[in-house]
Amino acid sequence: MYFIDVQGTLISDDDKSPIRGSREFIKRCNTKNIPYMVVTNNTKKASKDFYNFLISQGFEFGFDKYLDPLMILESHVEKDSVAAYGADEFLKTLSSMGYNLDYINPKTVLVAIKEDFTNEDYAQMIEFLLLGATLVGMHETSIYAKNSKRYPGVGAILKMLEFATSTSYKVVGKPSIAFYEESLRALRKQSPEALFTDITMISDDVKGDLGGAKEMGIKTFFVTSGKYKNEAEIVPFLDPELRPDAVYADMQEILEEL
């Protein structure tokens, strides 16, 4: 059974095209009736729009096998008075979901990712947090990769804000316990007796995705087709108990072992 990441795992961070072996891996799971969930930290596009994009790229799976943070956001963040930070598409999606964006006296500071955060953005977030707003991250990705560059991910930004304001934070998407528990509930529609210990998580984010999964007893496969060029960049610096169970170049290498 699998939890399968998307960006850097199924599709390229650079041009969003399918990574070698990714479509074939999904097809193999379908053919062999292997339970799986496609679990992504997508926040830029509405959930159904991003799912439809994946289908347009040749991935064959139903929406019931897809989960992203936007699909569970309402159970974590109230819709009134939210100061949201992220790409324009993210802000538009929040508005379409009925969230009231408030940059005067917000109750919640909600952080997603974009490549051009400014010091003014950070200053505004810090001011709101010091005035009592709660801090929520759409996910806790360690690194954000785009255009062959690597930027601090939402997880890194949350850590910075926590240090600056002594404000704790919660996370909606991966690697939060709530997100993985929702993923397990969805997986149990395919395999009712499934447990975390039955599942392997595949991702290019060895800190943000796989570390949290490992803590829950999920087996972890790290692919170097996304944020990291090779395992030497990151794996030796992880706590031994959080290191991945296996490292692969891409989904094709995993497919060859099935």
Query: pTM of the full predicted structure?
Result: 0.94
| Residues 143-162 as b or e (16 or more Cβ within 10 Å = b) | bbbeeeebbbbbbbbbbebe
Structural domains of the chain in order of their starting residue, each with its CATH number: 2-70+175-255 (3.40.50.1000), 73-171 (3.40.50.1000)
Alpha helices (H) in the chain, listed in sequence order: 22-31, 47-56, 88-96, 119-130, 154-165, 177-187, 210-215, 251-255
Contact 206, 228 (CB under 8 A): yes
Q: What is the DSSP letter of 11?
A: B
Q: Are strands 149-152 and 143-146 parallel, antiparallel or unpaired?
A: antiparallel
State how far the alpha carbon of 252 is from the alpha carbons of 2, 88, 246, in Å.
15, 34, 14
Reading the chain (258 residues) residue by residue, the pLDDT tens digits are 999 999 999 999 889 999 999 999 999 999 999 999 999 999 989 999 999 999 999 999 999 999 999 999 999 999 999 999 999 999 999 999 999 999 999 999 999 998 899 999 999 999 999 999 999 999 999 988 888 889 999 999 999 999 999 999 999 999 999 999 999 999 999 999 999 999 999 999 998 899 999 999 999 999 999 999 999 999 999 999 999 999 999 999 999 987
